């Protein structure tokens, strides 16, 4: 792998001829730089995390303070807000009812914050308030999950509205033409730039320029990132990481996440007019691959090894965020250090309670062999639509207008 790194460094200066001894020295230096960079960033993380404390956005209701993101899930038979059959934009991987999910109780839960009730989502009200504006979701497939949810929630409330969908890569846009409202999704799993050079994918931890030009046109920006930073093996999204002009085959993932997110935050502070544009960040969306995280006493009461077969939320108000707690701390720290912090839509805990909300094997992305083996084939990362992302958007709606 380090030989490839040396080759990558050499293509920057193609006229330079290196002898074998020089190449060996380069290999040693690249390896040393990799470990030093990871160590330095980890020290930075430890310093910041020792001062970590989570600040939850509050709203005032009836003279009391309401913590939007602390509460319980309650049964409500007036939900869901729409049916999957009435919203053709839903991708197969999120369309659980179409792909055979036999239960429907997971659709009947409403989030109730402590000390208040959330305003019920009103699609026409959303369009009127957003008339002539552009909302853009930026991030990975969980951002796409939320993007499609919002379109469905609005569409069911304004069925006669003329619409237009333009799908592309990395940008897709759905327009409510009668209101001049555009709702876009821009795929950028790392937020920072990912380039291909001579067939190699380069994750540039200090650059946002290529992605950012499109973001400047939006009036509302909702960002998310997190899951792709921990992918390994065939799921790893890069061949090399670039930091400080150096190339590394890999580095500490949490350190890389922090550096990339700081680059994004600095770019937002320098390039987005916050008098005109509202910026949000969706907190880390939890997965449910380990039943011991939600089973009493640390033992599973299910016969499977993941979310398959789960049909009800976790009881109570708290949930162990497990593997994502460190990423959550990075997000909190980086947002807090911004000149004008993005609004954190802090959905991690409330989503953690929804072990029942994933596609599991009821996803159009799974083949028959995967469906027959839920212990290994179930999708416990994304969310069914209708489903949990509708609550994310209800909280988004509340934060925007109340």
Question: 141, 172, 285, 381: which is the annotated catalytic residue?
Answer: 141
CA distance 254 to 258: 6
pLDDT in tens, 72-123: 999 999 999 999 999 999 999 999 999 999 999 999 999 999 989 999 999 9
Q: Please give the average per-residue pLDDT across 363-391, as a whole number.
A: 94
Specify whether 195 is catalytic: no
Question: 227, 288, 358, 382: which is the annotated catalytic residue?
Answer: 382
Question: 193, 239, 346, 379: which is the annotated catalytic residue?
Answer: 379
The first and second tokens of residue 90, run together, are: 């839903």
String of DSSP letters for 316-376: SS----GGGHHHHHHHHHHHHHSSSPPEEE--HHHHHT-TT-S-BT--TT--HHHHT-HHH
Task: Provide the Cα torsion 262, 265, 267, 269; round to 10°.
Answer: -140
The first and second tokens of residue 76, run together, are: 């409500």
Position of tokens 């960002």? 223
DSSP 8-state code for residue 12:
T
Q: Where are the domains of the chain?
A: 2-401
311 compared with 42, residue with greater pLDDT: 311
The model carries a pTM of 0.85
pLDDT band for position 31 (cuts 50, 70, 90): very low
pLDDT at 48 over 60: no
Specify whether 234 is catalytic: no
Specify whether 379 is catalytic: yes
297 compared with 309, residue with greater pLDDT: 309
pLDDT at 62 over 50: no
């Amino acid at each position: 792998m380090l030989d490839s790194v040396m080759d990558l460094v050499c293509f920057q200066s193609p006229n330079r001829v290196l002898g074998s001894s020089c190449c060996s020295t380069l290999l040693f230096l690249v390896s040393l730089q990799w470990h030093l960079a990871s160590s330095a960033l980890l020290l930075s993380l430890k310093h910041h995390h020792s001062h970590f404390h989570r600040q939850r956005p509050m709203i005032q209701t009836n003279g009391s303070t309401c913590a939007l993101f602390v509460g319980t899930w309650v049964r409500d038979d007036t939900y869901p807000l729409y049916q999957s059959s009435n919203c053709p934009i839903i991708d197969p991987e999120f369309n659980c009812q179409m792909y055979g999910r036999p239960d429907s109780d997971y659709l009947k839960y409403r989030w109730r914050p402590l000390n208040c009730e959330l305003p019920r989502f009103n699609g026409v009200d959303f369009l009127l308030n957003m008339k002539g504006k552009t909302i853009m979701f930026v991030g990975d497939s969980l951002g796409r999950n939320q993007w499609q949810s919002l379109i469905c929630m609005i569409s069911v409330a304004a069925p006669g509205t003329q619409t237009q969908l333009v799908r592309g890569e990395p940008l897709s846009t759905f327009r409510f033409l009668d209101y001049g409202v555009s709702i876009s999704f821009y795929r950028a799993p790392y937020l920072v730039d990912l380039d291909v050079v001579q067939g190699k994918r380069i994750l540039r931890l200090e650059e946002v320029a290529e992605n950012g030009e499109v973001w400047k046109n939006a009036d509302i920006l909702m960002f998310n990132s997190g899951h792709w930073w921990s992918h390994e093996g065939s799921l790893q999204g890069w061949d090399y990481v670039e930091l400080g002009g150096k190339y590394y085959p890999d580095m500490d993932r949490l350190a890389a996440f922090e550096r990339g997110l700081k680059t994004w935050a600095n770019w937002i502070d320098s390039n987005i007019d916050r008098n005109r544009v509202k910026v949000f960040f969706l907190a880390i969306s939890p997965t449910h691959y380990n039943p011991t995280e939600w089973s009493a006493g640390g033992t599973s009461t299910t016969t499977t090894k993941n979310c398959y077969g789960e049909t009800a939320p976790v009881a109570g108000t708290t949930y162990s965020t497990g593997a994502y707690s460190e990423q959550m701390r990075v997000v909190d720290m980086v947002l807090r250090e911004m000149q004008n912090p993005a609004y954190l839509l802090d959905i991690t805990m409330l989503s953690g309670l929804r072990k029942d909300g994933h596609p599991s094997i009821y996803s159009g992305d799974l083949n028959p062999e995967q469906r027959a083996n839920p212990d290994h084939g179930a999708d416990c990362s994304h969310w069914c639509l209708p489903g949990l992302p509708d609550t994310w958007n209800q909280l988004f709606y509340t934060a925007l207008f109340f």
